[in-house]
Chain A
Amino acid sequence: MEIKVLKNVLDRNNNIAEKNRELLRIKNTAMVNMISSPGAGKTTILEKTIPMLKEKYSVGVIEGDAYTSKDAMRLKKFNIPVVQINTEGACHLDSNSIYEAFKELDLEELDIIFVENVGNLICPAAFDLGETIRVAILSTTEGEDKPSKYPMVLRDSKVVILNKTDLLPYLEFNKKEFVDDILAVNPQIKLIEMAASLDSGISEWVDWLMKWRSHVGDQSFSG
């Protein structure tokens, strides 16, 4: 006999994600889910972003890492709350691990939480964490073909950062193709070019974040 089920496989994750989203809304905290390949520069970008944002906002970080606490250690110097989640080799964070991490954070106190997802462009895209926005980080060394290979993460992101633009003179990176492919998947996305280690593009990103943060809850903000 055949029994109709029609049940979403990610229901459990999606339900907890909605719970997280509601919690963030009540506490007036915004959460940024940062997704990239390993080594694209997520931690470096945070190292540059946090000191600038700290002047105006109270910032916390949830660090997803497969095994180590190396990234979390790099951010602790800013005297901000950093919660480390070791996924024990799993390739993505899920909404339940974020829900658990919330217990170690004072959501009432925080304005912005950055989630540094596990370095991977495929799996994290499928798992809603309850974030306010998603940001994709790609770097020039990965090649210009990434947008067309991983459309889901770009489709669902509000911002895409192209990092390591300082290396462009040494690479055969077709920026026009990269930009065209991104816009073909998501014409509304905000593209920021960056060389985080040289501080280039950081102020554009921080300005965007501040503008966005002041409009959280306001549906009309297009970024």
Chain B
Amino acid sequence: MHELAVIENILKISTEVAEENNLSEIDRINLCVGKLHHLNEMIMQNAFSAVKTGSLLLKAELVILWEPLKLMCSDCQSVYEPKENVFSCPVCGSPSTEVVRGRELYVKSIEGQ
């Protein structure tokens, strides 16, 4: 769904960085995505193939590093991956939690020449 908007931004960021560093070809874009974003890998890859144009991006592949959803209990400070979206703490049962991982959505690096 919103994969296309995300991919367009990724290409914009990567192109800018490649130009600043005088790259003529991007081989790989390493992207970090948190699970909380509900982004679908297959749709992202399809959108990426459809949208990448021009010699700079022609050979580029998109590599997605998935970050799991991790929460920290505000009461007992346990850090855990919630199962089946039950966010409350499995150790002490507290409903008060903070998302520590899983909201990431950033271009980690690009590789090219």
What is the interface of chain B mostly: helix, strand, loop, or mixed? Answer: mixed
Please, how many angstroms separate the alpha-carbon atoms of A123 and B17 in the complex?
Answer: 27
Please, how many angstroms separate the alpha-carbon atoms of A6 and B105 in the complex?
Answer: 10
Nearest A residue (CB) for B84 = A148
Please, how many angstroms separate the alpha-carbon atoms of A147 and B86 in the complex?
Answer: 10
Interface residue count for A (Cβ, 8 Å)? 35
Contacts of A42 in B (CB 8 A): none
Given known A3-B17, A94-B5, contact A10–B109 (CB-CB < 8 A):
no
| B32 smallest CB distance to A (angstroms) | 9
Contact with B along A158-191 (1 / 0, CB 8 A): 0000000000000000000000010111110000
Contact with A along B80-101 (1 / 0, CB 8 A): 0000111110000001100100
Which residues does B use to contact A, with CB under 8 Å? Answer: 1-2, 5-6, 9-10, 13-14, 17-18, 21, 23, 31, 36-38, 84-88, 95-96, 99, 105-113
Please state if A10 and B84 are interface contacts (CB–CB under 8 Å): no
Given known A10-B9, A152-B37, contact A5–B96 (CB-CB < 8 A):
no
Interface centre among A5, A6, A7 (most CB of B within 10 A): A5
What is the interface of chain A mostly: helix, strand, loop, or mixed? Answer: mixed
Which residues does A use to contact B, with CB under 8 Å? Answer: 1-12, 90-92, 94, 120, 122-123, 125-127, 147-152, 155, 181, 183-187
* Among all A-B residue pairs, the 8 with the closest Cβ atoms: A187-B95, A123-B2, A5-B107, A148-B85, A91-B1, A184-B86, A123-B1, A2-B111
| A174 smallest CB distance to B (angstroms) | 15
Please, how many angstroms separate the alpha-carbon atoms of A126 and B5 in the complex?
Answer: 11
Nearest B residue (CB) for A147 = B85
Please state if A184 and B85 are interface contacts (CB–CB under 8 Å): yes
Please state if B36 and A151 are interface contacts (CB–CB under 8 Å): yes
| A149 smallest CB distance to B (angstroms) | 8
Interface centre among B13, B87, B106 (most CB of A within 10 A): B87
| B13 smallest CB distance to A (angstroms) | 5
Nearest B residue (CB) for A8 = B106
Please state if B110 and A5 are interface contacts (CB–CB under 8 Å): yes
